[in-house]
A and B are shown apart, each in its own frame.
Chain A
Amino acid sequence: DVKVTQSSRYLVKRTGEKVFLECVQDMDHENMFWYRQDPGLGLRLIYFSYDVKMKEKGDIPEGYSVSREKKERFSLILESASTNQTSMYLCASSPRPSETQYFGPGTRLTVL
């Protein structure tokens, strides 16, 4: 079974803090994704990576950056957290971009 893990289930940070969300997958997938999910807005793609050190912007990259130094690990960074970044953050991986994505359990981030 594919397993995707995320570093925290719940996280509370203050405005202006730097926040790191980490994701690890164990299926040797080339592709990894970061989404945020908000009520009524569905899943919105922030960034994705198709190889180590390779990344592409998704639909809402502003205020976020990513890092992929190893194939199994994909990190999402909020350089200076703001209250409008309070959301559920979901990481996913897949063997190919157009194929099934496997999701981690999610991190519910609250920025105060």
Chain B
Amino acid sequence: QKEVEQNSGPLSVPEGAIASLNCTYSDRVSQSFFWYRQYSGKSPELIMSIYSNGDKEDGRFTAQLNKASQYVSLLIRDSQPSDSATYLCAVNGKGSARQLTFGSGTQLTVLP
């Protein structure tokens, strides 16, 4: 089992819809969870971090964490074509320093 798993997609949604991106992780003691956005040919940039169960909202983005189910998700409301990118989930993992482990990413396309 991979430490951090994401559906690779591609996920396509129409402009204005809600995009839902999901991530599961294997380490029950993980405490830090992050969503990054990566445009084609660019480096990842942080969108949100979440540490506690429940929802965390920032503008059009909502991160949801359920530690019991080992599940973290990202909702993008009112999706825009500029949201088209690959979204990476990162979780602090099993490494010696509990450094982040990244999922392989979900490719999102927002159709005008």
Sorting the interface of chain B by its residue count into under 10, 10 to 19, 20 to 34 or 35 or more gives 20 to 34
Q: Write the nearest CB–CB distance from B46 to chain A, whole angstroms.
A: 6
Check A27 for interface membership: any CB of B closer than 8 A.
no
Segment with Cβ contacts to A, from B12-20, B63-71, B100-108? B100-108
Docked complex: A76-112 residues within 8 A CB-CB of B: 90, 94, 97-106
The reply to whether B103 and A97 form a contact with Cβ atoms under 8 Å apart is no
Q: How many residues of A contact B (CB 8 A)?
A: 23
Residues of B with C-beta under 8 A to A45 = 95, 99
| B92 interfacial contact with A, CB 8 Å | yes
Can you give 16 contacting A-B residue pairs, CB < 8 Å? A31-B99, A40-B8, A42-B104, A43-B44, A43-B102, A48-B99, A50-B97, A56-B96, A56-B97, A90-B43, A98-B31, A101-B46, A101-B100, A103-B45, A104-B43, A105-B42
